[in-house]
Amino acid sequence: MAIPILQIYKNQLADSDFAQGGCRAGAEKEKLLHSDRPLVSIITIVRNQESTLESTIQNVINQTYSSIEYILVDGDSTDTTLNIIKKYDDVIDCWISSVDLNTSDAMNKGIALATGDLIGMVSAGDWYADGALETVVKAHLEDREAVIHGKFHYWTEDLQPQYVVAALDDTTENININHLAAFVPRKLYEEIGLFNLNFQNGNDYEWYLRAKLKDAEFRYIDKVITNIRLGGMSDHKWWLNYYEIMQARILHNQGRVSSYIRFVRMVIKTLSRKSLESLGLDSIVRAYRKYLAPIKKEMET
């Protein structure tokens, strides 16, 4: 399947008649007039997250950085998620509700709806760290071409702090960027394309690898940008995430055999860690996370 093109998605959305709302339809917002304060588009894709969505909406709309455009893409929820979105219709810039092919499709819809200079994503139940957007925008103003990304802090589903992960972008062998802690200039989506619809769990890895191979710039911020709850799809289907990473590397000619070996090693290490956890060997698990995990955990709190 060809890489989706931003303009094609924009055209498709313009011709659609699914449920939509938000306050964008009114007069031009004052925040769009401040050239010294780039407009940041924040996208939340969601489906049946009535228990966690509102906290994320509150986190976004109450950010101290005011030049924000907030977009929600609902995947035809069957619980009260859409009612929660409509509750904030006067502060959400744009929302739509329709059946999505997969998460990549939903993310692409959000990007196509965005008008900001810089585009970020935050999932239902997750939240930005204090001052994160100011930090991101400062870095963006210093390098408007770069993908700005930073650390992400994992929490349990009942909000107990776990560990902080430091991102990597130095080589194609060491890409560890979470799209929930990254902000991409709109022009890169125009130049590189959107998220590959053949990928779901590893769609962000495939995009960052593609961008790296096309010599896109990356800028790392040594601070926590986003707090992320464990228990999402990538946690429950971790093996699928590893498999799609392998598929992405093969797709982009990073070596079929080496990519398969990498996949097997990641699976073995994760199964070993899960076995230790089931036995209650917490000290060994902590050492594993620090030294052996496929994605290193910088610290635990």
**Domain residue spans in the chain?**
6-230
Separation CA 87–CA 231 (nearest Å): 26
Residue 102 pLDDT > 90 = yes
* Overall pTM > 0.85: yes
Please give the pLDDT value at position 237. 80
Residue 14 pLDDT > 50 = yes
Residue 272 pLDDT > 90 = no
Residue 128: beta bridge partners?
Answer: 226
Measured on CA atoms in the order 247, 249, 254, 257, is the torsion positive or negative? negative
CATH of 6-230, one of 3.90.550.10, 3.40.50.2300, 3.40.190.80, 3.40.309.10: 3.90.550.10
Under 8 Å between Cβ of 146 and 185:
yes
Phi, psi of 28 (to 5 degrees): -55, 135
Pairing mode, strands 127-128 and 182-185: unpaired
Percentage of residues of the chain with pLDDT beyond 70:
88
218 contacts: CB under 8 Å, gap ≥ 6? 146, 147, 149, 169, 177, 211, 212
Closest CA to 85 of 148, 25, 20: 20
Residue 35 pLDDT > 80 = no
Closest CA to 277 of 158, 156, 153: 156
* Cβ-based neighbour number of residue 281 at 10 Å: 14
The rounded mean pLDDT for the chain is 88
